[in-house]
Each structure stands twice: as structure tokens, then as C-alpha cells.
A and B are shown apart, each in its own frame.
Chain A
């Protein structure tokens, strides 16, 4: 089974890259700070967003019905998918109906969560991701490592190599300007030849039945407006009550994500264009279960800005792939155990609980509290690390038993003094990246009994 600590260890082998990754993301975090400080009522704005989302979660079934009704009235075909498998089957059925074997897709973390590309490839359907970062990781046969910055773990030289191999750019070319131009030419021809385009959804408005897709590149629009069939996939939690509430979220989203005041394009899709089919898939895939978990339901407020990742000291130094889930970082670590507690039992422990994630979250999700609470659920359910459980039991016994405590302390001091190699080796996880301290001559207990007279 995959484990965050093991995967982080692989990432940590290249120290220089870890430093670079760390600094790049911190720079993005700083841009977020600058942008948020320009809004005098930033904190109230976060609070307002959080309250709107709470209202949505508390009345979600009605909003879903309202949204469906409006969308159908707008000429959109609405589908419901209980889980990832059903979502993928719906997409496949739509494509089959039109005899389409190639599709272009803009960014959608939901389709990553559902492993749509893999599923469609098995059915003989080719998918091209059109977001530049996603296209890069797709060509590299890797998943995105960050929800907003999919190839943040890649150096331009590596991207140049990938483009040389797949898109025919010059060997050794690593100028971002030229590489982007190469991708532009390649993807524009893709947009022009695909009859189906799938996009994600940032926000969907119950009142009007419209949905909003935000991109900087314009790739969602290039795909959707050139295709005969537009499929939009969204988690059921993406709803907001009324259009006026978009004002709050569009102000928060990119300022939190990259420090931009807004994305280049915030596209409001309401009706298909004449001759076009527009499909919208509402996906549950565990969200209704998470909604029922009182301690964790607030995680469904997430608007996928990635601010919690950029600020997280663990994410910045372990890389997105170490989380082995579609949404990495702190938010991913509180979403994933809901989907599969056993498979993702390690993730809530991949945190220092410093709380920085909660501080930057634009919808005020109590991320670090939830990480702490998941740890307790996971241990109670028996999915905890067995070695850790044993160690904790031994520790509990020692600390509650004075003579055992004294013997253990003495033994520790003797071993560290006369046989330091017994602890200064790779079997001891505390020895990694740090030297063990010099053992004190005596314990505090011994010192106290000596000096109290």
C-alpha cells in the first residue's frame, strides 16, 4: 500500500529540487498574501463565503432540484452519477451516441478523482488534456501534482525533453515562451478537430441553471465553443444559491490561488449554442456521506483554490505525488479518507497541524482541526499504523510505571553514551536529517534527589 512518508522520502532524495519546489510554492503563497491585503474586508469576505457555502450544504437537495429544473429549461441535459463508475459510463455513453472516439478536456479535478481518462482509454477513446500543465503531465504519463499548478514539480528542462519527444520541439529547448508556443500550435489543432469537449465546473448557480468555468488559458472555451457536444462534470457541492453570490467567490478564488485579481476568463455557460448539445453531470461519489459526517462536512465548502497546498510546510517539501490521491495537500488529506479510509489512512498524519492551511482557506474550512479529528477516527477504526500503535502502547506503559520509566531512562543514557551506533543508524527514524543529542549524565530525578537537601 502507498504511504505518504515513503513517497515523500523518494521526493526528498533530490534536496536541491525540494528547496526549489518549496520556494516556488512559497512565492505563490506570498502573491496570495499581497492580493488578499488589497481587499480591506478580506476576512469578512471569507466569512461571507463560508456562510453561503454552509447554507448550500444545509439545503443542498432543494438547490440541486432547483438547479436541475433551471438547467433543463435552458436546454441542458442533466445526468446524475452516484459514483465515479457511473460518471465515466455516462460520459462514454454520450460519446458513443455521437460516434465520437476523441475528446478534448479542460481542467477537472473531478475527472481525475474518477480516473476518467484511464476508463475512456480502455474503451478505445482518446482524451487530450488541454490545460498546458495538465498536457505536460499527461505526456509524461503522470497525474497532476497540484490542483491549480499541475506540473509545479517539473523543471523546464524536463518539459523541453517531453515536448521534444512528443511534440517535435528542438532538442534542448527550454524557453517557456517557445515551449508554450509549441503547445499552442499543437492544442489549437486539437481544439479544431475534436467534436466533444469536457470541462469542469467551478460554480453552478441554482437560481439560473448556469455554470461558471474559470481558466487563464482560454482552453475550456476553445474546447467547448468548437465542439458539437459539451460535457460539464461537477461535484454536487459546487452549487451556489444565486448569481449575486458569484461575486464573493470570484473575488476570493484566484486571489487565494495565485494572487491574481481574477482569472483571464470566467465563462458563464447557460444554454447550448444553436446546434450544440450541452450535458451536465452531477456527481456524488461519496459527497453525500461526507455531508453526513458532522466533523468533516465543512470540507465540502472547498472551491479548489490550492492555497492550503501552497502554504503547507509538508506539501511544499514532499510534493503533490506523495499524497497518492487526485487532490493532494491538506484539503486532499481530509477529503480522501472519506472515499477510502484504509487506502488513505496515512494522509491525515502527513501534517504538522500548524494550522496555516485553515488561515489561508478562502471559505474558512477548519482543515487542521479536521486532520486531527481524522487521525482519531482512523485509529479507532483500526486503520492506524501498527508500528506506531505498538510504540504508543509501550510508551504509555513506561510513562505510567515509575520503575519502568527509570530503567528505560537509564538504559537510554547508557546506550547513547557507550553504544551510540545503536541509535545513530538508519533504523532509527529520528536519526534522519538530525544528530541524536548528547546524553545527559543523570536524569532530572537523580539530580533532584541529589540537590534537594
Chain B
């Protein structure tokens, strides 16, 4: 008998009679009622160490970028290819080559007001390691794509098929030393979220 069969047999022997799943629709409906998502998003993002900048159109991102000239900047947003390299060029490369990226500017599929998390898919990352290995991260999201809570967030992901995707909320951080909050643990030291509000 393989361990697989043994585990499954042991579990079958031990598990109680099947109990039903709760109705998730109740939760999905609750989120719809919540207005003012942008304000909530801004407030929560600031609380977790991020910075939110409201812009009217994508072009305005440029005016807010502040990095050392000559440092390495990558993006997957074609409109910014004049100021940053195309991150998608590295999809099949060794991820280690991104070690010295100073800034990555990536689009997010949508944001979540209750925790300021942004859903970024593998395609939007260009390559998986990029939003983690860069020194600073900027994410761009449309104001219309900010949903109230996590229930609404997972509704948005329904039917999608990403090899990898992540919710990102704030810069990389730790409080492991005497509960003192330090930004920039292993990943980005800062996060700027551009909310495009036409």
C-alpha cells in the first residue's frame, strides 16, 4: 500500500459525516453595498506603509518617478517604455538577472479597499520575481477597478487561470526585532500606488 492510499484510507475512516458548506453569496452581496472604496483604499494603503498618488491619466506617472539617473527601471506598461525597459523581455531569462533593478512599474488587475491589496498577475509582472526583487515598486490601478473587499476580489478572479499571481499590500516589511516595524525586509523598500482616476 502506498502512503497515498494509506493516508486516503485513514482519512476516510476518520472523517465525520459530510457537513454542508456555508453560502458565500451572502458575503459577496455585502461588499456591493460598500461605497467610498477609494477613500478607504487610500487610508489603508498609508497605514501599511504605502503611498497613494491619484493621477488623471497614465502619462502622469512619469512626473512622479524619483530614481537615481542611470539606475535600472523595468515596466510592463508599453506607454512607459521610453523611461523604463520592458520587463517581459526577461520572462524566459534567469530571474537572477533582475537582482539590480531599482524600480519596477507594473499594472495591477484590481485593488481591494479593505486592505489596500493589489492583485498582480504573472503576465503583469513580466517575470515572477520582479515585484519582489526590485528595490522600489510602483503599481498602477484604475480607480474603477478598486473593489470593496476580499469576497468581491475573488469574484473578480473567477474564471482566470494564472500560473502565479499575488496580492501585494505595501512594501516588504518585518517586525521580528522587538516588534519594531522596519520597511524593506527582503523585497521593495517602498510602494507607490498610482490610482488612475479619469
Task: Mark A residues whose CB is within 8 Å of B.
Answer: 24, 27-28, 41, 45, 47-48, 51-52, 54-55, 57-61, 64-65, 74, 80-82, 86, 130-133, 136, 149-152, 155-156, 159, 176-177, 179-181, 183-184, 187-188, 191-192, 216-219, 221-222, 225-226, 236, 241, 243-248, 250-251, 258, 260-275, 282, 284, 288-289, 291-292, 294, 297
Contacts and interface: CB of A to CB of B under 8 A. Distances in A.
19 contacts: A54-B19, A59-B15, A60-B11, A64-B7, A74-B163, A80-B7, A133-B174, A156-B178, A177-B180, A216-B172, A217-B173, A225-B132, A236-B7, A243-B154, A247-B154, A251-B115, A264-B48, A288-B10, A294-B16
Given A27-B179, A261-B115, A270-B162, A60 B167 contact: no
B114 interface: yes
Q: How many B residues are at the interface, by size bracket?
A: 35 or more
Contacts of B122: 273
B182 interface: yes
Contacts of A149: 175-176, 179
Nearest to B189: A184
Tell me if A's interface is mostly helix, strand, loop or mixed: helix
A204 B187 CA distance: 24
A268 B164 contact: yes
Contacts of A74: 163
A105 to B, nearest CB: 13
Nearest to A63: B11
A187 B168 CA distance: 21
Contact of A52 (B22, B99, B173): B22
A225 B169 contact: no
B65 interface: no
Contact of B173 (A248, A250, A264): A264
Contact of A176 (B20, B112, B182): B182
Interface of B: 2-4, 6-8, 10-22, 24, 27-28, 30, 44, 47-48, 91-92, 95-96, 99, 112, 114-117, 122, 127-129, 132-133, 149-151, 153-155, 157-158, 161-180, 182, 184-188
A273 B164 contact: yes
A261 B44 contact: yes
A260 B44 CA distance: 10
A58 B19 contact: yes
In the A-B complex, the 4 residue pairs with the closest CB atoms: A292-B14, A218-B187, A261-B115, A133-B176
Nearest to A160: B177
B162 A216 contact: no
Nearest to B99: A192
Contact of A268 (B14, B44, B162): B162
Given A55-B21, A264-B172, 12 more contacts: A60-B15, A82-B6, A133-B176, A149-B175, A176-B180, A177-B180, A221-B132, A222-B132, A225-B132, A236-B11, A244-B24, A251-B115
Nearest to A216: B173
A31 to B, nearest CB: 10
A259 to B, nearest CB: 11
B178 A176 contact: yes
Given A226-B96, A269-B164, A247 B151 contact: yes
Contact of A217 (B4, B8, B10, B174): B174
A270 B177 contact: no
B12 A80 contact: no
Contacts of A159: 177
Contacts of B115: 251, 261-262
A155 B115 CA distance: 31
B176 A80 contact: no
A73 B48 CA distance: 37
B167 A262 contact: yes
A169 to B, nearest CB: 12
A266 B117 contact: yes
Given A27-B179, A59-B15, A250 B7 contact: no
A264 B24 contact: no
